[in-house]
Amino acid sequence: MTDVAAPPTTRERVVDAAVRLTSEVGWSQVTMAKLADEVGVSRQTVYNEIGTKPGLAEAMILRELDRFLGVVSLAFDEHPDDLVQAIRVASRTVLEHATGNPLLHAVVSATHGADTELLPLLTTHAESLLVVAKDVIAERIAPYRLGLDAPRLHAAIDMVVRLVLSHVMQPSGPPDATADDIAWIAQRVLR
C-alpha cells in the first residue's frame, strides 16, 4: 500500500503561488487579484484564506522556515549521540537549502533595489521566526543532557540560531566550511 499525499489546500496553493510570483516578478508586484488568477479562485477566497498582504508575507516566511526546520530535525535524528555533528549537519543542510531557495533569493536580492518590504521579516522583525527556530532547537537539544543551566543553554541556542541565520542572509563561504566553523564554535560554547 502506498501513501498518497493529500492534495494541497487552497491556502497552500495561494502561498505556493505567492512564492512563485515573488520569485518571478518581485513582492511589490504580488496582488491578491494576481494570486486569485494564479490559483483559480476568487479574490475574496484569497483574502479568506490569507487575510492581508502582510499576513501572506508571514505565511510564506513561516512555511519556508518549517521546511528549513524539517532538515534540522533530520540532522538531529541522524546524530542522536553527537550534538556537535548534529549541529554541523543541520547548519550545512540549512545553508545548502538557502543557496537554492527562490523565495530567500528574491528577498535578499531585493535589497539591491526598492522591493525590500519582505526583508524585515528575516532581519529586524524576525522575532517570530527566531522564537520558532529556537524552540525547535531547544526541543532537539534536550535529549543530549548538556548539564548547562537554563540561561546558558538559552544563550547557546540563541547564538547558534542567529549565527546560522546570519550566514543564510549573507554567506561568507561555502556551506561545508561555514558549517564546520559553526560546529567548532558550538563545541567550544557547549563544553
- pLDDT tens-digit profile of 48-89? 999 988 888 888 888 888 888 999 999 999 999 999 999 999
Mean pLDDT of 103-109: 71
Q: Which residue has cell 537549502?
A: 97
Residue 122 pLDDT exceeds 70: no
Q: What is the pLDDT of residue 112?
A: 40
Task: Between 158 and 109, name the one with better pLDDT.
Answer: 158
Nearest to 96 by CA among 163, 161, 173, 184: 173
Q: What's the pTM?
A: 0.79
Nearest to 24 by CA among 16, 32, 33: 16
Name the band, by pLDDT with cuts 50, 70 and 90, for residue 127. low
